[in-house]
Structure 1
Amino acid sequence: MPSRDFKRTDRVGAELRREIGLLVHAAVRDHGLPSVSVSDVEVTRDLDWATVWVTALLPDQSIPAVKALNELAVEFRRSLSRSMRLRRVPELRFKYDDSVDKGERIETLLREQARDLAPREESDED
């Protein structure tokens, strides 16, 4: 019998990510929300809660976007219950994923450091 390397929570999370991504895209378009996309979904072992991580195109608009998505969570859950074959759809919590912002910040710092070091190395050779 094959091993079960892929847990049920992972499968449910992947399916939720696809479905919620479509719902969030429609909500952004219909409700005039700031542009956000679903980056990941983490589901608890008992499938009671799902944490939906979203990233915003403009980080300064992330707080109102997450607040609006949390207000729409009940509607999203209702829609998911119709489209997914789950006995019980988990309750949704939306949170902002700041890993992209942190990565850009680190990249910017590394570029600045490389730019600052480059002239010194050239002047040492003269």
Structure 2
Amino acid sequence: MEKLFSRSSRIAPELQKNIAIIIHSYLKDPRIKTIITVSEVRVSKDLSYAQVFISFLEKDDSLNVKKILFLLNKASGYIRKLLCKKMKLRIIPNISFCYDNSFFYGKKISSLLNQIRK
């Protein structure tokens, strides 16, 4: 009989919570001036890779997004090292950061629907 939840689906929310804490508390880069939200974490079946989806609470500026993604991907080794101390896992996944624009996309669709309604 198969388990209802795989191990990767149980570890993903814990990674999401811990990565958000690390970014807000321990990552002190003066070039990152915006609030970063970790919206989702997808972990591979063998727990060796994790895709971290982030979003920002300000306007969508593609140059700023690329810069912040570059800085976070450069700091992924440091974030992984801090995760080793916080989580008791045999394998800490390699982290790659991706931009999640679903909030702005949903906001745009909502405003279009409101215009149609009027």
Query: Do both proteins adopt the same fold according to a TM-score greater than 0.5, normalized to the shorter chain?
Result: yes
Counterpart CA distance in 1 for 2:93 and 2:15 is: 10
Runs of 4+ aligned structure 1 residues displaced above 4 Å come to none
Using structure 1 for the length normalisation, give the TM-score. 0.82
Counterpart CA distance in 1 for 2:66 and 2:35 is: 12
Shift of 1:84: 0.8
Q: Which residue of 1 aligns with 2:4?
A: 5
Using structure 2 for the length normalisation, give the TM-score. 0.87
Measured against aligned partners, the alpha-carbon deviations of 1:18-67 in whole angstroms (never above 9, x if no partner) come to 10010111256x21312211001000001110000001112213222222
Give the alignment's Cα RMSD to 1 decimal.
Answer: 1.7
Shift of 1:11: 1.1
Higher RCO (C-alpha 8 Å, min separation 6): 2
Residues matched between the structures, number: 113
Shift of 1:7: 1.2
Counterpart CA distance in 2 for 1:46 and 1:6 is: 14
Contact 1:9 1:45 in 2 (8 A): yes
Q: Secondary structure at the match of 2:4?
A: coil
Structure with higher helix content: 1
Q: Give unpaired runs (5+ residues) of structure 2.
A: none
Q: Which residue of 2 aligns with 1:14?
A: 13
Q: Give unpaired runs (5+ residues) of structure 1.
A: 116-126
Q: Which residue of 2 aligns with 1:65?
A: 68
